[in-house]
Every structure is written in C-alpha cells, then in structure tokens.
Amino acid sequence: MSQLVNVKGLQVDFLTGKGLFTAVKGIDFDIGHGEVMGLAGESGCGKSTIAFSLMRLHRPPAIISKGSIIIDGEDVLAMPLDRLEKWRWSSVSMVFQSAMNSLNPVITLFEQFRDMLYRHTGMGRAQARARAEELLALVGIPPERLDDYPHQLSGGMRQRVVLAMALALNPKLIIMDEPTTALDVVVQREILQEIMALKARFGFSILFITHDLALMSQFADRISVMLEGKIVEVAPTAEIVANPAHAYTQKLWDAMPRLGAA
C-alpha cells in the first residue's frame, strides 16, 4: 500500500441520554507519505473527533462503531493495548489546539521531555537532556529555557515546545488540531513556516485541522471539507481555491472577510 493512512467507512457514535448521536458518519480518506492533508469545517462538524479516533484517544461516551483505520500498514483498531501505548507518539503524534492545556503547569519543560523520552525509549537523564536541547534548537528556542515552567513562555513559544515534543520520536504522521488558532497572525505565520521547513527535513505527513480555509490553502496539499460528520469535498488545494464544487465550500469562502475583497 502506498498510502500512509487509510481510513475506510469510519463511524463514531456518542452515547447520550437521548440515544446515539453519530458525530462522524462513515468517512473515507487517505494521506500519502509526506503529504499535508487539510481538514476544514465549522465547529462541531466532527473534525476533532476524527483526530482523536485516529490515535484511538477517543473515550466513552464516544465509540467507533464501524470502519477501519490503517496507519503505515497497521490496523489501529485491532492493536492490543500494550502495543498501542508504544505506538502512540512514536508513529503518530499530535499537536493540540491550546498549548496552554497540553503542558503540565507545575513541572519544568525538561521534566516533560524526560518523562516522554523515558517512557518510550528508556533514555537516561543526561541523554534525555541532550535530546531535548536538540529538539528545542530545532524549533528555535534557546536550550536554557528547558528549566523554565510553561507559564514563563509566551503562547507562541509554548506552541513551539509542543511541536518539538511531537517531533521527538520521529513520527510518520503528526496530527495538528487547530495548532495556531489561539495565536495572533504574525506568530501563526512564523510557526507554520517553521513546520514547513521541518517537514521538508524529516518527511513526516501532516493532518492539518482548522476552520480557516485561507490559512489551510497556503499550507495543505489536499483539502477535505467536512459538514455535519461527512466529507463533502476532497480536492487538491488549487482546485478548492479556484473552483470549489460543493455549495458548502463556497459558503465557507464567503464567510471570511479578506483583504482585497471588500
């Protein structure tokens, strides 16, 4: 199989007091090696549910009721728990929307790096220190900041740290769930440009989730547009920009105030 990720007929249900709610209604998509796949759609359309299901991070009341997820030749849904634990982060890692919440506020950055490196590779303290410094250098943060606590960093720096952590084990796929939504435009641009350069260097694939179509079309190779749990349009970026086929994609474009279009 040439594709890195292959999702077929994925359906995710939520058990609620009022019965089953189907958040993701049987979707198929694939991501190639080194490809940036964009997933666009408004709040509540199921984008993040897909992101969580890909790593099997969904928790009850969410259940995957149908479909298959194959990443790099391995069936994620059939994986035993001990294998899953090793597989998460080393094959697929994730950058969450708010970096504030994905870092532990009461331990230093180094402890968080060390914890992750120790769990997955059994690295000792000195080794982990060296690796963490190397990773921070990759995202342009001076290594002495390793002994700082998350609150001592700015929002953009925290997002960089989370990105460095996601890179730590050389994953094949990084899921980015609205990685820059909480940042202002200048910092957003700085970080995305850096992700692009890192991708060229390490060759990972990206599943890029956002509701900002303009930003996505600068970044992604292909874009899937989601509406109410279904993918309504998948096309190469240029296609989505030039002639969006589905009415909802056009609506998404119109909903944005843009420079030039008054």
Among positions 25, 127, 241, 246, the unique one binding another protein when judged by CB under 8 A: 241
Bridge partners, 32 (sequence order) = 3
Min dist. Cβ of residue 127 to another protein (A): 24
> Taking CB under 8 A as the rule, does residue 251 contact another protein?
yes
> Taking CB under 8 A as the rule, does residue 218 contact another protein?
yes
- Is the CB of 10 or the CB of 156 nearer to another protein? 156
- Is the CB of 114 or the CB of 160 nearer to another protein? 160
d(CA 217, CA 242): 11
Bridge partners, 210 (sequence order) = 40
d(CA 163, CA 240): 28
Which of 94, 93, 70, 91 is closest to 2 using CA atoms?
70
Give, as ranges, the residues between 154 and 213 that touch another protein (CB under 8 A): 154-155, 183-190, 192-201, 211-213
Min dist. Cβ of residue 134 to another protein (A): 13
CA atoms within 13 A on the CB side of 126: 0
Name the DSSP class of 145: G
Which distant-in-sequence residues (6+ apart) come within 8 Å of 6 by Cβ? 30, 68, 69, 70, 71
Among positions 215, 225, 231, 235, the unique one binding another protein when judged by CB under 8 A: 215
Give, as ranges, the residues between 17 and 46 that touch another protein (CB under 8 A): 42-43
Which of 1, 56, 59, 49 is closest to 24 using CA atoms?
49
Among positions 73, 80, 105, 257, the unique one binding another protein when judged by CB under 8 A: 257
Give, as ranges, the residues between 55 and 84 that touch another protein (CB under 8 A): none
Positions touching another protein (CB under 8 A) are 42-43, 138, 140, 154-155, 183-190, 192-201, 211-215, 217-219, 241, 251-252, 254-259, 262
